[in-house]
Amino acid sequence: MKKVKQATILLTATAMVGMLAACGSASNNNNQASGSPSASAPSSAAPEKLKKISLFQSKVEIAEPLEALAKTYQKETGNEVEVWGSAGDAYATQLQAKLAAGEGPTVFSVATGAEADKFKSYYADLSDEPFAKDIAKDMALKDGDKIVGVPYGVEGFGLVYNKSMVDPKNVTDLASFTQTLEKIKSEGKNGLSLSQEAYFLIGHIINTPFALQADPTGFIEKLNKGEVKMADTKEFQEFAKFMEAIRANTTNPMEVKYDSQMGDFATGKNAMVHQGNWSYGMLKDFGDLGFDVGMMGLPLAGNDKIAVGVASNWVVNSKADADQVKAAKAFLNWMFTSDSGKNAIVNEFKFIPAMTNIEAGELDPLSQTVYEATKNGQTIPWALNYFPQGIIVNDLAPATQAFFLDKKMTGEQFLKNLDAAWAKGAK
């Protein structure tokens, strides 16, 4: 017995030594001795070595250019940024767990709306930073009057269409929209495709009736309290008719994945898809399409505008130590004001900038449409950002799946189900 004990003590000891040995080399942000407490002036002339910071964000597509940008930053300023990575749909959970462990990143991204609300207690005030004044009107993430987040860029969605198959002049209201779908169906093609992913099935398309309310956020609040019903609201009644037309005349979206939706569009089998400018990245992989693409608004209640908004924002973790917060602000300043930073945003990340001091780069046709609509103010807002947390995936999507699977369900019934789902999700 005694010997067993001795041996096990030895084993644990070895394990501990291993861990302690790692202590020295571990790049543990919070434990590391502070680099330079000396310089305190915010913009002293002498280049100052700032503390190493970490950055964590959700958009996998820009992970590599971001790492490259961090290298450029280090070359130009000597300061270090460690870029962490996460698969897209695991991001929020990981962020939450890391913050819980006091192991949070210094700079991180949050989606506008419910997610931004959720992590509110972590945001450092960015109002006085030089880049803050360059954020386009109404685009900054705010907590009260304070600016706490910088937008990644703007994105837009609507009906993405094949210009050789669809003329926007023929898609202006419910009747002409339905006719177009019927006509294309009679030609053996598919008029419009949604796809099975929750946002592409219902989240985006239901944004239109919300955005067309006089006061979208006010409407959502009333809906949360049960003071209004979608079933009693004019725009939603028409929305239900649109959904009926889509169900009657197009492929069942439950059978369609984003991959096949865009594949069918690229090969001319789908005339339209309800998608955003991001989907161009997918089309690009198909080489020369042989037709031009455009984007228009969903013609609900006479709407002719596409929905444009900010999907993600950069924020600085106020719970990081003061030196790190300072270094983080310096990095954001550099990214949004230096030539290298601005260049990376438009040409490497391929974002449509939401900053007045950054000119758009060379944009793909869909992004170009979004960019122009933004400049001309021809947009409707992303009301879906203000939906209660998790409601699209957990409540609205199941109700919509039921609608597409049960051909007998009426649009009216569908709206009632959506109302019921909303009441549950908004608890």
Partner 1 sequence: MKTTSRVAGNVLLLLLSLVFLSPIYLMLVNSFKDRAELYRNALALPSSFSFQYYSKAMEKMGFLTAFGNSLYVTIISVVFVVVLASMTAWMLVRTDDRLSRFIFLLFVSTMLIPFQTLMMPLMQVMDWIRTHLHIPMLNTREGLIYMNVGFHASMAVFLYHGFIKSVPVALEEAATLDGCSKFGVFWRIVFPMLKTITITVAILDVIAMWNDYLLPSLTLSDKGLRTIPLSTFYFFGEFTIQWNLAMAGLTLTIIPVVIFYVFAQKYIIKGIAAGAVK
Partner 2 sequence: MPLLLVFTTVVILPFLIGIGYSFVKWDGIPANPKVFVGFDNYVALFKDDRFLTSAWHTIAFTVLALVLVNVLGLLFSLLVTSKLRVGNAARTMFFLPNLIGGLILGYIWQFVFTDAFKFLGEKTGLDSIFFNWLIDPKFALFAMVVVFTWQMAGYTMIIYIAGIQGIPDELNEAARVDGANLWHRLTRIVFPLLMPSFTICLFLTLSGAFKIFDVNLSLTKGGPNNATEMFAMNIFNEIFGYGHYGLGQAKAIVFFIIVAAVTLTQVIITKKREVQY
The tokens of 61 are what?
Answer: 């597509």
Binding site partner of 258, from partner 2, partner 1, none, Cβ cut-off 5-8 A by kind: partner 1
Per-residue binder mask for partner 1 (CB under 8 A), 258-287, x = binder: xxx--x--xx----------x--xx--xxx
Q: Is 401 in the site for partner 2 (CB under 8 A)?
A: yes
105 touches partner 2 (CB under 8 A): no
Binders in 36-55 for partner 1, by CB under 8 A: 54
Binding mask 405-424 for partner 2 (x = CB under 8 A): x------------------x
Tell the smallest beta-carbon distance from residue 288 to partner 1 (Å).
11
- The DSSP symbol for 52 reads P
336's tokens: 């949004």
Contact predicate 307/147, CB 8 Å: no
Residue identified by tokens 């070595």 is 49
Cα–Cα distance between 396 and 21 in angstroms, integer? 51
Stretch that binds partner 1, among 88-96, 143-151, 162-170, 394-402 (CB under 8 A): 88-96
Residue recorded with tokens 């302690």: 20
Quick check: 121 binds partner 2 (CB under 8 A)? yes
**Residue 289 binding target from partner 1, partner 2, none, CB below 5 to 8 Å by type:** none
Task: Pick what 32 binds: partner 1, partner 2, none; C-beta below 5 to 8 Å, kind-dependent.
Answer: none
Are 158 and 274 contacting, i.e. CB atoms less than 8 angstroms apart? yes
Binding-site member from 76, 117, 182, 197 for partner 1 (CB under 8 A): 197
Q: Which two tokens stand for residue 86?
A: 């996460």
Contact flags string 195-234 toward partner 2, x per CB under 8 A:
-x-x------------------------------------
Q: Is 269 in the site for partner 2 (CB under 8 A)?
A: no
Does 18 bind partner 1 (CB under 8 A)? Our answer is yes
58 binds, among partner 2, partner 1, none (CB under 5 to 8 A by kind): partner 1
Indicate which single residue of 146, 183, 319, 416 sits in contact with partner 2 (rule: CB under 8 A).
319
Number of alpha carbons in the 13 Å side-chain half-sphere of residue 82: 12
The answer to whether the beta carbons of residues 125 and 148 sit under 8 Å apart is yes
When CB distances are held under 5 to 8 angstroms depending on the partner's kind, the choice from partner 2, partner 1, none that residue 71 binds is none
With 0-12 / 13-18 / 19 or more C-beta atoms within 10 angstroms meaning exposed / middle / buried, residue 112 is buried
Report CA 322 to chain centroid distance, whole Å: 29
Round to whole Å and give the CA distance between 344 and 305: 29
- What is the distance of C-alpha 51 from the center of its chain? 29
Which 8-state DSSP code applies to residue 348? I
Tell me phi and psi for residue 109, to 5 degrees: -110, 145
- Kindly list the residues in this chain that would bind partner 2 in the complex (CB under 8 A): 8-9, 11-12, 87, 92-93, 96, 99-100, 118-119, 121-122, 196, 198, 252, 254-255, 257, 319, 389-390, 393-394, 397-399, 401-402, 405, 424-425, 427
